[in-house]
């Protein structure tokens, strides 16, 4: 078999991709970078990477031997570094080749982790504010090589020429931008200074800023990161960290937790928010990599439950994405997230064990966050469940306090059930917790794991009714006519009526109406509506007799006593409907349309009756 002779066909020869630089810059500015201001971050980052490479070349050089100088006078922005610099060959290879980076060249692959950049596109961000990038550089690797000048333009063209050594006597690189008219917002001297401080305040090499008005350059990062400074006492240290947190986030932290994970070279602080945040709302954290601020909105460094803190961290080995505004979701990030979560747990444990005041303030603000955490975390549950606040028949109290007075803790399954029974249950000496809020019922049921002496049971209507005193036979008999009328009036709601004596006497009636009973009624109603059809048969077959709503009238209540004595059938009926309506309103559950119209009607009937009586 012979192969077709493609090589002879000139149209099949290998060609090189053409890059439309303007299109590429447009793509970056709209889809990669959040704002043109990132040009300064990229220039700073290149300068810092160049210093890192220079120190690798000259490890004996003193720590402050090399630095970065920024200059902006309104007409140019210049970033000058004492870094490793570039030879002419480097300029062709790295500056003029989009997507190529010296920071992942093979021979230094093992050192790549030392650099912030790696994609070989960062420099293009300068085209967001200028049409030309001017670079003069001299290599520290080849001290004898001449200085080299590169001019790259936004249309994709560039020039390179060598310059006499005097043009750049020492190794390093100077990048100069002449901003476009529309980029003044990002290139004014004050703005350049502010951006440098914003991105570079934690950089570990000295960076200065000069606005061209004379005098020495102002330091951009005069001090090391607050956690890297030495303090005379632990108290001064924690106050300084709290002050830093306040400066960065604008709130006074409830407490400041130091973060330190040597394995990934991570240091920083977590500031505990002094006020509750809506559950599930995640706050962004400030993430620096090798001192450079990457993101103010990084969510991924902590698990979702940690929404009660905001962190500032500086890490060596987290990998930024090409936009630099988020982090690669890799194993390191997962390990960092776990380790930081562990640190927060340890802080909670310490507060629980030795700082009750701090714990109380923390739980007051963040009990919801802690509840969501305790549901999945046995250790947190064991430490904190007793201290968590719940709504109970003794008011808002901690579970510990409540469990001391009630060996058996009853818990409702909804807020409305709790509203229905709270006053009466507490008068009957029952201890009930409102289990209707997210996590609460689940958590209360786990109380015996922490306090084995206590038991927990769901409160069903039968438990409560069993605690209400029956009335004597005579009273029951005397009330029977009224009760029969009332049952008749409320039959449409599948509601039974009973008479009991219970405290508080001010409560005329209690509507015991469990969720299951309501579902059952809806099912019955549907079955009636669909009678005859297949669906009706199915629903009918599902129908249970058991749960019905029950209106329990309170024989101790003066109004109920008066109602029981009503002879007039219509008025008896209306009063029963009104008592039902009032009890349904008190339960604060959503009313069905028939119930709303019943309340309306009974109110008007009673009004009419009262007016008739007066006239």
Ligand X SMILES: Nc1ncnc2c1ncn2[C@@H]1O[C@H](COP(=O)(O)OP(=O)(O)OP(=O)(O)O)[C@@H](O)[C@H]1O
Which parts are annotated binding residues for ATP? 42, 46, 81, 173
**Closest separation between CB of residue 433 and ligand X, Å?**
55
With CA atoms as reference, report the closest residue to 456 among 404, 392, 393, 410: 410
Cβ neighbour number for residue 357 with a 10 Å cutoff: 8
Q: Taking the complex as a whole, how short is the minimal distance between the CB of residue 320 and ligand X, in angstroms?
A: 8
118/261 Cα distance (integer angstroms): 24
Nearer to ligand X, 138 or 283 (CB): 138
Residues in the annotated binding site? 42, 46, 81, 173
Nearer to ligand X, 217 or 274 (CB): 217
What phi-psi label fits residue 207: left (phi over 0), alpha (psi between -120 and 50 degrees) or beta?
A: beta
For residue 121, the minimal CB distance to ligand X (Å) is 4
For residue 336, the minimal CB distance to ligand X (Å) is: 21
* 430 neighbors 384 (Cβ within 8 angstroms): no
Quote the CA–CA distance of 40 and 201 in Å, as a whole number.
Answer: 13
**Please, where are the H alpha helices in 226-330?**
234-249
150 versus 418: smaller Cβ distance to ligand X: 150
Which of 127/439 has CB closer to ligand X? 127
CA distances from 289 to 66, 102, 298, 309 (A): 20, 19, 12, 20
CB of 414 to ligand X, least distance (A): 54
Q: How far is the CB of 33 from ligand X (least distance, A)?
A: 11
Using a 10 angstrom Cβ sphere, with 0-12 exposed, 13-18 middle and 19 or more buried, the burial of residue 151 is middle
Q: How far is the CB of 140 from ligand X (least distance, A)?
A: 10
Beta carbon nearer to ligand X, 55 or 119: 119
CA distance 389 to 406: 15
Helix then strand count (H, E) for the chain reads 20, 22
Q: For residues 120 and 268, which CB has a smaller minimum distance to ligand X in the complex?
A: 120
CB 121 within 8 A of CB 45: no
Enumerate residues 6+ apart whose C-beta is below 8 A from 229: 223, 240
The site for ligand X (CB under 6 A) is made up of 42, 46-47, 50, 81, 83-86, 94-95, 101-103, 117-123, 173
Nearest approach in angstroms of CB 83 to ligand X is 5
Beta bridge partners of 552: 498, 510
In angstroms, what is the minimal distance from the CB of 130 to ligand X?
Answer: 15
Q: Residue 97: phi, psi to the nearest 5?
A: -120, 110
User: Angle at CA 364, nearest 5°, toward 362 and 365?
Assistant: 70
Q: Which is nearer to ligand X, 29 or 102 (CB)?
A: 102
* Sign for the pseudo-dihedral over CA of 180, 182, 187, 188: positive
Q: Let me know: does 435 contact 413? Beta carbons within 8 Å.
A: yes
Which CB, 79 or 497, lies closer to ligand X?
Answer: 79
Report strand pairing: 469-470 vs 207-210: unpaired
Q: In whole angstroms, how close is the CB of 224 to ligand X at the nearest point? A: 23
Closest to ligand X by CB, 139 vs 256, is 139
In angstroms, the CA 391 to CA 439 distance is 13
User: 567 by DSSP, 3-state: which?
Assistant: coil
Beta-carbon count within 10 A of 59 CB: 6
Q: How far is the CB of 85 from ligand X (least distance, A)?
A: 6
CB of 172 to ligand X, least distance (A): 8
DSSP one-letter string for 229-254: S--SSHHHHHHHHHHHHHHHHSS--S
Nearer to ligand X by Cβ, of 120 and 189: the residue is: 120
**Nearby residues of 547 by Cβ (< 8 Å), 6 or more positions away:** 461, 514, 516, 517, 520
The Cβ of residue 283 has, within 10 Å, a number of other Cβ atoms equal to: 18
Q: Of 47 and 471, which has the nearer Cβ to ligand X?
A: 47
The residue among 84 and 579 lying less far from ligand X, judged by its C-beta, is 84
Strand order, beta sheet including 68-72:
158-163, 147-153, 130-138, 172-179, 77-81, 68-72, 207-210, 218-219
């Amino acid at each position: 078999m012979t192969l077709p002779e493609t090589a002879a066909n000139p149209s099949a020869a290998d060609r090189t991709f053409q890059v439309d630089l303007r299109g590429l810059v447009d793509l970056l500015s709209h889809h990669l970078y959040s704002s043109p201001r990132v040009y300064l971050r990229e220039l700073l980052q290149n300068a810092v990477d160049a210093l890192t490479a220079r120190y690798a070349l000259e490890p004996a050089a003193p720590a402050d031997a090399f630095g970065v100088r920024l200059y902006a006078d309104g007409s140019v922005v210049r970033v000058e570094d004492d870094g490793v610099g570039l030879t002419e060959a480097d300029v062709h290879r790295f500056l003029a080749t989009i997507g190529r980076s010296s920071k992942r060249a093979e021979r230094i692959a093992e050192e790549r982790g030392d650099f912030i950049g790696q994609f070989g596109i960062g420099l293009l961000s300068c085209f967001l504010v200028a049409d030309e990038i001017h670079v003069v550089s001299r290599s520290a690797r080849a001290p004898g090589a001449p200085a080299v000048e590169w001019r790259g333009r936004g249309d994709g063209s560039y020039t390179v020429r060598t310059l006499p050594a005097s043009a750049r006597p020492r190794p390093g690189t100077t990048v100069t931008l002449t901003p476009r008219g529309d980029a003044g917002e990002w290139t004014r001297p004050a703005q350049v200074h502010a951006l440098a401080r914003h991105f570079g305040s934690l950089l570990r090499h000295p960076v200065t800023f000069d606005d061209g008005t004379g005098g020495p350059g102002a330091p951009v990062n005069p001090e090391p990161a607050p956690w890297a400074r030495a303090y005379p006492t632990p108290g001064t240290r924690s106050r300084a960290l709290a002050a830093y947190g306040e400066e960065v986030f604008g709130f006074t932290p409830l407490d400041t937790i130091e973060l330190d994970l040597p394995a990934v070279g991570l240091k920083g602080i977590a500031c505990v928010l002094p006020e509750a945040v809506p559950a599930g709302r995640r706050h962004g954290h400030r993430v620096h990599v090798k001192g450079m601020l990457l993101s103010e909105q990084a969510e991924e460094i902590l698990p979702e439950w940690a929404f009660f803190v905001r962190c500032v961290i500086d890490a060596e080995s987290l990998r930024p994405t090409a936009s630099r505004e988020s982090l690669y979701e890799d194993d390191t990030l997962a390990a960092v997230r776990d380790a930081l979560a562990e640190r927060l747990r340890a802080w909670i444990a310490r507060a629980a064990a030795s700082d009750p005041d701090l714990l109380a303030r923390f739980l007051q603000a963040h009990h919801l966050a802690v509840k969501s955490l305790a549901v999945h975390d046995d250790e947190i549950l064991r430490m904190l469940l007793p201290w968590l606040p719940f709504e109970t028949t003794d008011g808002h109290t901690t579970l510990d306090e409540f469990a001391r007075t009630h060996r058996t803790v009853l818990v409702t399954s909804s807020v409305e059930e709790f509203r229905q029974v709270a006053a009466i249950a507490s008068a009957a000496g029952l201890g009930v917790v409102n289990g209707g809020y997210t996590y609460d019922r689940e958590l209360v049921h786990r109380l015996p794991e922490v306090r084995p002496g206590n038991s927990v049971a769901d409160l069903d209507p039968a438990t409560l009714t069993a605690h209400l005193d029956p009335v004597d036979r005579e009273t029951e008999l005397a009330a029977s006519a009224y009760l029969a009328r009332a049952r008749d009036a409320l039959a449409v709601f599948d509601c039974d009526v009973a008479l009991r004596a219970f405290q508080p006497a001010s409560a005329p009636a209690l509507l015991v109406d469990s969720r299951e009973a309501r579902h059952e009624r809806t099912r019955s109603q549907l079955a009636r509506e669909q009678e005859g059809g297949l669906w009706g048969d199915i629903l009918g077959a599902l129908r249970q007799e058991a749960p019905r709503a029950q209106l329990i009238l309170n024989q101790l209540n003066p109004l109920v006593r008066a109602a029981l004595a009503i002879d007039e059938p219509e008025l008896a009926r209306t009063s029963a409907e009104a008592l039902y309506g009032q009890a349904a309103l008190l339960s604060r559950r959503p009313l069905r349309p028939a119930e709303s119209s019943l309340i309306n009607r009974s109110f008007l009937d009673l009004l009419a009756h009262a007016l008739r009586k007066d006239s």
